[in-house]
């Protein structure tokens, strides 16, 4: 097999729907936009949930209960195996993890998880630790400190 023999899998490629190409095309006259009205106009877009001025369903149904998602603390996970990128005896803090590219993105903190095998003695300062991660760090003579 060579590069020129490669083809997409059957059904992976679709022809573009050509609108307004006459009645016999199946997409003529109104070009798949139905009759008249707001959705038939060019540049028209109606936001999801809009019901033409009628009170939308999401506003009609009663809201009850409490949802804690707004107050949840979002941690960026970093596994133990990723900490092997640091040298033996290093102090690994939040800034060092971000500089090394192990924790990227917005979050409320960094949590060290116990996935993988740690092979270095490190002083790790993070916002949270799993129990297995803390045990693995201390087993090798390192320390796991909660960063403020």
Q: Residue 122: give its domain's CATH number.
A: 3.100.10.10
pTM score > 0.85 for this model? Answer: no
* Predicted local distance difference test score (pLDDT) of residue 44: 86
Instruction: Copy the structure tokens of residue 74.
Output: 């979002």
Q: Does 21 reside within a domain? A: no
CB 113 within 8 A of CB 102: no
In a domain, 141, yes or no: yes
Q: Does some domain include residue 60?
A: no
| pLDDT profile of the chain (148 residues), mean per 10 | 94 94 93 92 91 95 90 94 92 93 93 94 95 94 90
Cβ neighbour number for residue 120 with a 10 Å cutoff? 16
In a domain, 40, yes or no: no
Residue 131 lies in a domain: yes
Phi-psi region of 90 (alpha: psi -120 to 50; beta: other; left: phi over 0): beta
* Cα–chain center distance at 75: 13
Residue 108 lies inside a defined structural domain of this protein: yes
Q: Rounded to whole angstroms, how far apart are CA atoms 100 and 124?
A: 14
- Residue 1, pLDDT score: 87
Range of the domain at 140: 73-146
Q: What per-residue confidence (pLDDT) applies to 19?
A: 93
Residue 106 lies in a domain: yes
The H or E element containing residue 95 is helix 94-99
> Is residue 99 domain-resident?
yes
For the chain, the domain total comes to 1
Q: Is 11 helix (H, G, I), strand (E, B) or coil?
A: coil
Tokens of 21: 């190409």
């Amino acid at each position: 097999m060579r590069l020129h023999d490669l083809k997409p899998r059957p059904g992976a490629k679709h022809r573009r729907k050509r609108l307004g190409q006459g009645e016999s095309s199946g997409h003529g006259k109104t070009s798949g936009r139905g009759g008249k009205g707001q959705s038939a106009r060019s540049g028209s877009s109606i936001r999801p949930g809009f019901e033409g001025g009628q009170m939308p369903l999401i506003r009609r149904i009663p809201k009850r209960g409490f949802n804690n998602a707004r107050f949840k603390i979002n941690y960026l996970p970093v596994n133990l195996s990723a900490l092997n990128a640091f040298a033996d005896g290093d102090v690994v803090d939040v800034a060092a993890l971000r500089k090394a590219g192990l924790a990227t993105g917005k979050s409320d903190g960094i949590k060290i998880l116990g996935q993988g095998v740690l092979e270095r003695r490190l002083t790790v300062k993070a916002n949270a630790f799993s129990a297995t991660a803390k045990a693995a760090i201390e087993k090798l003579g390192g320390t796991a400190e909660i960063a403020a």
